[in-house]
Amino acid sequence: QVQLVESGGGLVKPGGSLRLSCAASGFTFSNYYMSWVRQAPGKGLEWVSYISSGSTNYMSHADSVKGRFTISRDNAKNSLFLQMNSLRVEDTAVYYCARDRYGSGKGPFDCWGQGILVTVSS
């Protein structure tokens, strides 16, 4: 079955870095745009970044993370990544890896990982 499994979260100090990974299985990963969506504690959903399918690797990031976060993928390893630098307290959230149904980078998201918690605190 279709499955997305995130890893790499944890506690980091402001200004620090983390790299999230998402392992995909059960579908042809390279055919799909993929996104990261986050949810701050007790809050709603916020799209963070997307990357195009195939080998073109077009990407886009929300203004709130632009210049600090970078999305990437390795189709040979069915993996999605999010490199997060210069982390801020307000980046604290559960980060979800999500599959884009339509291949636009904007959604809708028809499959989600279980989420991974990133806590930025001194």
Partner 1 sequence: EIVLTQSPGTLSLSPGERATLSCRASQIVSSSYLAWYHQKPGQVPRLLIYDASSRATGIPDRFSGSGSGTDFTLTISRLEPEDFAVYYCQQYGSSPGTFGQGTKVEIK
DSSP state of 29: G
Query: How many whole angstroms separate alpha carbon 67 and alpha carbon 2?
Result: 32
CB nearer to partner 1: give 12 or 33: 33
With binding defined as CB under 8 A, does residue 115 bind partner 1? yes
With binding defined as CB under 8 A, does residue 58 bind partner 1? no
Tell which residue, 10, 4, 1, has the closest CA to residue 22.
4
With binding defined as CB under 8 A, does residue 9 bind partner 1? no
User: Which pair of structure tokens corresponds to residue 16?
Assistant: 């620090």
CB atoms within 10 A of CB 7: 14
Q: How far is the CB of 100 from partner 1 (least distance, A)?
A: 9
For binding to partner 1 (CB under 8 A), which residues are involved? Answer: 37, 44-47, 60, 62, 96, 101-102, 104-110, 112-115
